[in-house]
Amino acid sequence: MTIERRAPRNDDVAIRITHCGICHSDLHMAHNDWGMSIYPMVPGHEIVGIVTAVGPDVTKYKVGDKVAVGCLVDSCQKCHQCTSGHEQFCVEGATLTYSSLDRRDGTITFGGYSDHIVTRQEFVLKLPDSLDISRAAPLLCAGITTYSPLKKYGVGPGQKVGVAGLGGLGHMGVKIAHALGAHVTMITTSPGKGDDARALGADEVLISKDADAMNAAAGTFDFILDTIPVGHDVNPYLNLLAPNGNMVLVGAIEPLPSVHGGLLAMRNRTLAGSLIGGLPETQEMLDFCGEHGIHPEIETIKLDEVNEAYDRLVRGDVRYRFVIDIEASRPAT
């Protein structure tokens, strides 16, 4: 079937999509694993492209601009969450980039596995010139998901930071924490990932199955970014935190096995969670990555290779994010 995009409204920006990242959540949404999917569906919320048209009220962008769209395409813009830059927590509910209902006309929103997208200007981000548009797309979800908690907890020089799990999120966590000036340790079950982690910017590698190494590192981390994408025992990681240390979950949106209250209370530790970021912080992240030359590590595919990519994603067989080259996937004209 053909998905029609709306003609630009007065405040809309029309974007010719050049690339779109594949997020693991696309797979869950496609399969309705979370019971919230709306069909027909066009997944994709890591979108970059070029502005092709703007509505008459658009002031932020002009035709030809390099832009990006992330997980959100609308919100009320009036509540305290929206006005403080946390649109993802809009009191009325944010409109997601795909499989959500447009706030104005109730039509289904469609994402970035597509040739173009039309979005109101407030939800369009500027892609810094220093970023390579063919590699930047995963910043829109994997980038902001890791940047936001690192910034919230003030990660920077002099701090010992752990990143648990080396996948789409984890590899961005290592790169950003390193660029923020922290001493970064990759915490992984797989000794085989050590070289990769170091190449990404990790100063050390801690094997989580090595009980002696885990004991030796107990109480030494200021911050841990836990990107492990499934429910898992967080107690061994909490035990790595120093007093007043913070650990943030960005992957496991599932039940966790029993957490020991004493690991939190006896050392003023924190177990938190984090969900993407608002629009101002997403722009800040893009600018930061532009300034520091931070790109995701990607494998580029064509649009007709998505099903195969999903199969490989299930097996964890990607280093570290698939990006669909939409530009190269267009039918010859």
Interacting residues with a second copy (CB under 8 A):
81, 86, 89, 152, 231, 243-244, 249-275
Length of the chain (residues): 333
Q: Which is nearer to a second copy, 107 or 268 (CB)?
A: 268
Using an 8 Å Cβ cutoff, are 242 and 267 in contact? yes
Q: How far is the CB of 152 from a second copy (least distance, A)?
A: 8
Element (H, E) at 242: strand 241-249
- Those residues whose C-beta lies under 8 Å from the C-beta of residue 315, and which sit 6 or more positions away, are none
Measured at the alpha carbon of residue 316, what is the angle toward residues 285 and 114, in degrees to the nearest 5? 60
Please report how close the Cβ of residue 232 comes to a second copy at its closest, in angstroms.
9
Cβ of residue 252: shortest distance to a second copy, in angstroms?
4
The distance of closest approach from Cβ of residue 6 to a second copy in the complex, given in angstroms and rounded to an integer, is 29
Q: Which is nearer to a second copy, 108 or 264 (CB)?
A: 264
Gap between the Cα atoms of 246 and 229, Å rounded: 19
Q: Between residues 44 and 251, which has the closer beta carbon with respect to a second copy?
A: 251
| DSSP sequence for 47-95 | EEEEEEEE-TT--S--TT-EEEE-SEEE--S-SHHHHTT-GGG-TT-PE
Residue closer to a second copy by CB (options 62, 260) is 260
Nearer to a second copy (CB atom), residue 152 or residue 312: 152
CB of 332 vs a second copy, minimal distance in Å = 43
Report, in Å, the least distance between residue 163 CB and a second copy. Answer: 16
CB atoms within 10 A of CB 218: 13
Nearer to a second copy (CB atom), residue 8 or residue 149: 149
Torsion on CA atoms 284, 287, 288, 289, rounded to nearest 10:
130
Q: What is the CA radius of gyration of the chain?
A: 20
Task: Give min distance, CB of 308 to a second copy, in A.
Answer: 29
For a second copy, the closer of residues 85 and 194 by Cβ is: 85
CA distances (Å), 135 to each of 3, 127, 319, in order? 26, 12, 13
Minimum separation from the CB atom of position 24 to a second copy (A): 14
Is the Cβ of residue 17 or residue 96 nearer to a second copy in the bound state?
Answer: 96
State the minimum distance, in angstroms, from the CB of residue 89 to a second copy: 4
Residues 6+ apart with CB under 8 A from 307: none
Element (H, E) at 163: strand 160-164
DSSP state of 161: E
Q: Enter the tokens of residue 218.
A: 């107990």
* Phi and psi at residue 70, to the nearest 5°: -105, -135
- Cβ closer to a second copy: 118 or 163? 163
Asked if 226 contacts 164 with a C-beta cutoff of 8 angstroms, the reply is: yes
